[in-house]
Amino acid sequence: MNIPMLTVLMGVYNGEIYLTEAMDSILQQTFSDFEFLIINDGSTDRTSEILYSYQDSRIRIISNEKNIGLTKSLNIGLRESRGQLVARQDADDVSKSERLGTQVKILHDSPQVVLASSWCELADGEGRLFGCIQPRTTRSDLLKRFSQADSPFPHGSVMYRKKSVLDIGGYDERFWYAQDFDLWLRLLNNSEAEVAVVPEVLYRIRKTIPTKEFKGICQRRYAEVSWEQHCLGDRIDFPDVREWISERFPLATKDSRRSVDEHWLFLSLTALQNDLKSIARLYARRALRSDNFQVRYRAMWRIMLSILPHRFARILQEKFWLLKQ
């Protein structure tokens, strides 16, 4: 049996809606020396049926008897992977056909690089593009993102050296959320470690309406925990970070309607920042349906900014901080 150079690692839980598109994007890569290791994390929808409908010999499927979470599933995948390099892929995102080949070449040609990412385009649940993420790799930029509890690289866009990740213990299983933030922080703690970002779009991230307010809050809280313990130089001595977070940060109990409203506002602002004015108006009009006055107020400003000439819109945004939110 030939040992592949690369393992594409994907965890999936009830991902039937976008799973086929995500898998096809990997199987249609121009680079072919890889195994596609998929961890089915106790799915109860049609995920298993879709996974086993593929006959490609590069696919390996590991099925968890019950849902154990992404972090533990990824560690299982790391232990079972055969490639020297590991590329992450999320079950609702899409990799461009040249992604794997481009990132493999970077890691092959530059031994000091432990992690390679790329620019990422953003799409909503219906596939409409509304923005682009362009990660930066200077130490000052990385420090700024980490200190703001903001992951510098989208998890699914990354390819890394398996040995480098295993040497620091893999993913910290206490982190149910922001496990990528914590991993990047520990991985780059070595002053000699370098990262690379391909200055072209190789990955599409799908931003859908959040279904759980708890998840959105915990993403940032877990990242804050990781940053704080990094600064203090020790690891938090708790078996479950979720309990520690719940005690330290009282979780807001916003209803699901408000969560959806904030989602539309976020998409509208991102579209504006990328000069996609018609898309920004579309999302802002959806936020206008809110029964919350502040949400409607911010949505109206979004619409106005999308109509004004770019120069005037910039002046307004600089003068009124609320328009930046």
Q: For the whole model, what pTM was predicted?
A: 0.77
Sign, Cα dihedral of 196, 197, 199, 201: positive
Chain centre to alpha carbon of residue 273: 19
- The pLDDT value recorded for residue 263 is 67
Q: Which two tokens stand for residue 223?
A: 């990242």
Count Cα neighbours of 139 within 13 Å in the Cβ-side half-sphere: 7
**Contact yes or no for 197/150 (Cβ under 8 A):** no
* Per-residue model confidence as pLDDT tens digits over 254-266: 444 455 677 677 7
Give the Å distances, CA to CA, from 130 to 56, 197, 201, 266, 322: 33, 21, 14, 11, 21
Element (DSSP H or E) covering residue 128: none
Count Cα neighbours of 287 within 13 Å in the Cβ-side half-sphere: 29
Give the Å distances, CA to CA, from 274 to 151, 209, 217: 20, 20, 25
Amino acid at residue number 85: L
Largest pairwise CA distance in the chain:
64
User: How far is the C-alpha of 129 from the C-alpha of 126, rounded, in Å?
Assistant: 9
* Cβ neighbour number for residue 221 with a 10 Å cutoff: 22
* Per-residue model confidence as pLDDT tens digits over 130-185: 889 999 988 888 888 888 888 899 999 999 999 999 999 999 988 888 899 999 99
User: How far is the C-alpha of 320 from the C-alpha of 37, rounded, in Å?
Assistant: 48
Amino acid at residue number 304: M
- The pLDDT value recorded for residue 319 is 53
Q: Provide the residue-wise pLDDT of the chain in tens; the chain has 325 residues.
A: 689 999 999 999 999 999 999 999 999 999 999 999 999 999 999 999 999 999 999 999 999 999 999 999 999 999 999 999 999 999 999 999 999 999 999 999 999 999 999 999 999 888 888 889 999 988 888 888 888 888 899 999 999 999 999 999 999 988 888 899 999 999 988 767 899 999 999 999 998 755 444 566 667 777 877 877 777 665 544 445 555 555 554 443 344 445 567 767 777 777 777 777 777 788 788 888 777 888 888 888 888 888 777 666 566 555 544 444 4
User: How far is the C-alpha of 112 from the C-alpha of 118, rounded, in Å?
Assistant: 17
Amino acid at residue number 263: H
Give the Å distances, CA to CA, from 241 to 219, 227, 254: 12, 13, 22
Sign, Cα dihedral of 99, 104, 106, 112: positive
- The pLDDT value recorded for residue 217 is 63
User: How far is the C-alpha of 294 from the C-alpha of 304, rounded, in Å?
Assistant: 15
Distance, first Cα to last Cα, the chain: 54
**Contact yes or no for 207/267 (Cβ under 8 A):** yes
Q: What is the CATH number of domain 6-206?
A: 3.90.550.10
